[in-house]
Every structure is written in structure tokens, then in C-alpha cells.
Amino acid sequence: MWMRPDALMAFEVQEVRETLRRYVDVVLGKERPLFRIAQMVRVQVKDDPWEAHEEGMQMLRECLDGCERSGGEGITLLDLKVQLAKKLAGRCSLCEWKCGINRLNGEIGVCRVTRPRVSSAFIHMGEEPPITPSGTIFFSGCNFKCVFCQNWDISQYPKSGREATSEELASIMDSLRYRGARNVNLVGGEPTPNLPYIIEALKYAKADFPVVWNSNMYMSEPATRLLLGVVDLWLPDFKYWDDEHARKYSGIPRYRETVTRNLRMAYTLGEMVIRHLVLPNHVECCTIPILRWIAENVPNSLVNIMEQYRPEYKAYNYREIARRPKKEELRRAYEEADRLGLKWRFVSLF
Ligand code: SF4
Ligand SMILES: [Zn+2]
């Protein structure tokens, strides 16, 4: 497969080697993906399945440096994760909206997603260099309503695309990997409303690949716990610092506390490339405090400071974001990232 030159040399770059060591080894077949380890670990479920999950996660962490298939009793940790994820969907609290409706019966919450629908799946050549070529699966529907969404035709139309069973999702994942993708990149819209089916698909997948969670990170706390031990590379969007701005442009409450909690959790297992889209007129209120938070809390991450914002969809209704960011705004962001010692250059300026 033809490779973009920066993607081809990405694994030799020091910033990448320091931050994505395990991910690179999984891409190269030198390490197992986390979901395979979760398939090897067995747990006995007695009274509290979440307690069994914690025990399983402890075993998974101990297995990171290598362990053989355990022939013990009980169910696999991956099976337990599927069961718990379906339970969350049964009174839906997969994301922080916590709609409480029964998604398994076709009831509809804020995201309006029922069963997973795939809008498209292809090998993406335009992601960050270590991630490209990426086996992207675009799910229809989203729990956010960003006025500047560039994928609004997917994210705001949960009925677009084609419904896929977990087995079908697995065969899409396999085919992307067999066709040369470095990873399977779950995106949308938003993957979170489809989380139980995505984890279930991994049970059926035959290929080994790193799982990339390309998300707005608005998962509930238990949903994030289930993703730990499944996601090899977190690819979160960190959009806002000021909650009023999250509410205004994405219709989201409690944005900052939710996303920072989930980023902290994600940082404990799996590696991370954080994306931040610089919005015009939001450098001081959002960009700068976000970069500072990253430096203090999740420093060993790559940071993609994205300059490509352009007003789309409903953004023209908001004068302050109805233009591209200015050079001075971007320079301010880059200088602050340098001052903080963030690892941003290689993945930002590709
Ligand atoms: S995933 Fe959808 S239905 Fe479930 S809590 Fe979030 S918005 Fe509500
Ligand atoms: Zn702002």
C-alpha cells in the first residue's frame, strides 16, 4: 500500500516512540491488542459483576508484560464487558446524558441511536501520521449537536448508513486490517452509543489490531471503565474549557468535569493522541487552559493542535466563530504548547 511519507517514518520519531510505544508494537504484531488480553483473562461472577470486572482488570494489568492463556473457570473479561455494556444500554447510561431509556427495546434517547448503523468504512489516509493508514468505521448519530460539525450529515442523522450486527462489524474490522490498516478507528458521529456492539464485535474479530477510540469523551464513568482494557489508543477531542461554550455550541451540560474525568481514567491504560481544534475567539478561554490541563494531568500524550477550523453547518449563526482562526491565534496556541513542553509538533503540522 502507498504510504504518506510522514506516516511511513512516524514510528521512528522520538515523540511517537516515547508516547505510543505499546500501540506501535501492537501495529507491528509484537504485542497483543488489549482486547485479546481481555479475552484471555477469566473471571468468576458472584454477586456483584462490577466487582468481578475490577478483579478482571487487575489480572489484565498484570498480564500486560505477557501471560499465557488462562484455562481457569468463569467467563472471559471481554464477555463480562459485553454483558455490563448491554446492561448500561438497557437503562441507557452509556454517556453522561444518562437518558435512562431501554435502548435494547428500541427506545430513543438524546442521541436517537438504536442499533449501530455504519455510514462508511474505509482506509483513511488523512489521520495523524502514526495512525495513518487507519481503518475508520463511521457510525451514524451523535450525543452532541455541535453547530460547527463537519460531519453533520452523519452525526445528526442517526438513521443514515446501514445497520450492522456485531458479527458484521467484526468482519468490517478484519477486512480493514487485512487490507493494510494500522488500526481499527471507531468514529462517527460518535462511537459511544454503539459501545456494547463494538465490544461484542471484538469477540468475533479474527485479526489482531489496535483499537482506536475516536470520541468526544462524553462517556459515563462506568462506560469508560468498560473501555479500559479494550482501547489501545485514545483519540479524544478536547473542545472546550468553559462549560458555557460547550453548552452554547454543542448543547452539552457538565462538559469539563466529564471530559477531564474520562481523560484521567483513559490515561491509566492505553496511550493517547489528544485533538484540540482551535476555535476563533476561544484561544484564551478554551485553548490555553486546555493545553495547561494536559501538561499537568496527562503529559505523556501527543497533542494535535488543529488549525483547520472553518465555519460549517450552523456556525454562521454565531458571529464570533464565523471565520477561520487567525495566524496570531494559532501562534499563541503553539507558543503556549512549546512553553509547556507538550509533544505536539509532529502530529499537528502534518
Ligand atoms: S448513548 Fe444516547 S441514549 Fe444513551 S445516555 Fe447517551 S444520549 Fe442517552
Ligand atoms: Zn471558549
Please, are residues 290 and 238 in contact by the beta-carbon 8 Å criterion? yes
Start-to-end CA span in the chain (Å):
20
What gap in Å lies between CA 158 and CA 231, rounded to an integer?
Answer: 24
pLDDT of residue 126: 95
Mutate to test the pocket of ligand 1, among 94, 105, 217 (most ligand atoms within 8 A of CB): 94
- What sections of 112-254 are H helices per DSSP? 152-155, 166-178, 195-204, 221-227, 243-250
Cα separation, 273 vs 19, whole angstroms: 9
Q: Which ligand is nearest to the CA of 223?
A: 1
Atom of ligand 1 nearest to the CA of 143: 7
Task: Check if 195 has its Cβ closer than 6 Å to any atom of ligand 1.
Answer: no
Distances 296 to 57, 191, 200, 241 between C-alpha atoms, Å: 26, 28, 35, 15
| Cβ of 189 less than 6 Å from ligand 1 | no
Grouping H, G, I as helix, E, B as strand and the rest as coil, residue 103 is helix
Query: Cell digits for 116?
Result: 449501530
pLDDT, residue 163, reads 97
- Whether 259 is in the pocket of ligand 1, judged by its Cβ within 6 Å, is no
Whether 145 lines ligand 1, by a CB cut-off of 6 Å, is no
Whether the CB-CB separation of 178 and 206 falls below 8 Å is answered with: no
- Pairing outcome for strands 134-139 and 75-76: unpaired
Please indicate whether residue 116, judged by its CB atom, sits closer than 6 Å to ligand 1: no
**Among the bound ligands, the one closest to the CA of 196:** 1
Specify the pairing of strand 75-76 against strand 42-43. antiparallel
What domains does the chain contain, in order, with CATH numbers? 5-33+115-348 (3.20.20.70)
- Listed residue (13, 10, 24, 6) closest to 210, CA to CA: 24
What's the one-letter identity of residue 210? P
Measured by CA distance, the residue closest to atom 6 of ligand 1 is 95
pLDDT, tens digit (0-9, with 9 covering 90-100), for 179-214: 999 999 999 999 999 999 999 999 999 999 999 999
Q: Which residue minimizes the CA distance to atom 2 of ligand 1?
A: 111
Q: CA dist 333 to 21, 149, 176, 240, Å?
A: 27, 22, 35, 14
* The pLDDT of residue 110: 97
Query: Whole-model pTM above 0.85?
Result: yes
Q: Ligand 1 pocket, 11 CB below 6 A?
A: no
State the DSSP string of 3-66.
--HHHHTGGGSHHHHHH-HHHHHHHTTSS--HHHHHHH-EE---S-HHHHHHHHHHHHHHTTT-
Intervals of the chain under pLDDT 70: 68-71
Give the per-residue pLDDT at 221: 98
**Which residue from 87, 88, 92, 102 has its CB within 8 A of the most atoms of ligand 1, so it is best to mutate?**
92
Query: What is the 8-class DSSP label of residue 70?
Result: P
Q: What is the pLDDT of residue 69?
A: 62
pLDDT in tens, 49-63: 999 999 999 999 999
Mutate to test the pocket of ligand 1, among 88, 95, 115 (most ligand atoms within 8 A of CB): 95
Could you identify the atom of ligand 1 that is nearest to the CA of residue 93?
5
Give the chain's radius of gyration (CA, Å): 19
Ligand nearest to the CA of 222: 1
3-class secondary-structure state, position 175: helix
Q: How far apart are CA 7 and CA 313, in angstroms?
A: 31
Peptide bond into 74 cis (omega under 30): no
Q: Which of 88, 96, 110, 117 to mutate to test the pocket of ligand 1 (most atoms within 8 A of CB)?
A: 110
In angstroms, what is the span from residue 194 Cα to ligand 1's centroid?
10
Q: What is the DSSP string of 247-294?
A: HHHH--SSHHHHHHHHHHHHHTSSEEEEEEEPPTT-IIIIIHHHHHHH
95 lines ligand 1 (CB under 6 A): yes
How far away, in angstroms, is 235 Cα from ligand 1 center? Answer: 20
